[in-house]
Amino acid sequence: MQSQPEPSRIFDRTLLARRRRRFAGRVSEHDFLLQRVADDLAERLAIVRRTLPLAANIGAHHGLLSERIRGLAGVKRVIDLDPVAALLARSPADLRVVADEEALPFGDETLDLAVSALSLQLVNDLPGTLIQIRRALRPDGLLLASVLGGTTLHELRAAWLAAEAEVTGGASPRVAPFADVRDMGALLQRAGFALPVVDSETVTVTYSDPLSLMREIKAMGASNMLIARRKTPVTRSLLLRAAEIYIERYAQSDGRVPATFEILTLTAWAPDESQPKPLRPGSASARLAEALGVPERKLDE
């Protein structure tokens, strides 16, 4: 029998770092999703009417996001933080720090901006990490981050579950459990952020076959790192059956297979007295009916 993992530990972070280190030299060949997210976060930051001179890129990978945001919203300096030194070595950031996202080295109220692209969904203590980020931000400082959402790779998850149930009579966790929009909004509020907003975008990528998708995930250093995963090697028959089921269920008319990535984008502010506050219920000075130009009618008792 396999021992049950601690509830607070979902991911084997040591294994994750080892895999990302192994593929660090080829990271730019498989960063299409990171590029898309970095472009989106840069567009969002470009419309922020604040001056945010000191930024930290948390879980920076090879510094792609840092390149995009420098100069936007008055950003003058960017600190890249990542637990994998081999990835940071490829970053062009002004300052680079080897540290884990779960143990941030920033002092209280030292940052104007915290950004993160496709890293925070793999920390074990996301509430704790968000609290650390909020504390590191100066009042009215901004958090702008993207994480993978709950429908990410649902096709691959379903194919593996069906194949294992058929071949081995059981199932092992193989695709990470990611949060949904409501979960992330609640976590931002719990961490003490003000004005939290979370939105979702679905990105669908197609591959020639399921094995090509699995190879890409491996090259991203993102293959199964769940603590509860089955530790025995995957058999050839199980792998091929999972691929067959994937094709049977999801193949398109041209034979290619889709892979879904849900991107959740988080925007939130460190609290500050200058920020707008919700009005007390019943304190409105104008009637909604007047603003809409319609007659006002009371609801039946």
- Kindly list the domain boundaries of the chain, sorted by start residue: 13-272
CA distance 83 to 81: 7
User: Taking the CA of residue 139 as centre, how many other CA atoms within 13 Å lie in the half-sphere pointing to its CB?
Assistant: 4
Helix axes 210-219, 154-167, angle to 10 degrees: 110
CA distance 77 to 13: 28
* Percent of the chain scoring above 70 in pLDDT: 87
The residue assigned the tokens 């930290």 is 56
Reported pTM: 0.85
Over residues 38-67, mean pLDDT: 96
* Percent of the chain scoring above 90 in pLDDT: 69
Q: Name the superfamily (CATH) of residues 13-272.
A: Vaccinia Virus protein VP39 (3.40.50.150)
- The residue ranking higher by pLDDT, 284 or 109, is 109
CA 267, 204, 120, 123 torsion-angle sign: positive
pLDDT at 194 over 50: yes
The amino acid sitting at 122 is L
Compute and round to an integer the Cα radius of gyration of the chain. 22
3-state secondary structure of 110: coil
pLDDT at 292 over 70: no
290: DSSP letter: H
Q: What is the pLDDT of residue 81?
A: 97
CA distance 77 to 75: 6
Residues 144-175 have pLDDT tens digits of 999 999 999 999 999 999 998 898 876 666 66
pLDDT at 1 over 50: no
Residues 127-136 have pLDDT tens digits of 999 999 999 9
Largest CA distance in the chain: 70
Residues 3-14 have pLDDT tens digits of 444 447 888 889
Residue closest to 142 by CA, chosen among 41, 33, 37: 41
pLDDT at 140 over 50: yes
Residues 68-112 have pLDDT tens digits of 999 999 999 999 999 999 999 999 887 999 999 999 999 999 999
Q: Strands (DSSP E) along the chain, which ranges?
A: 54-58, 77-82, 95-98, 111-117, 137-148, 194-207, 257-269
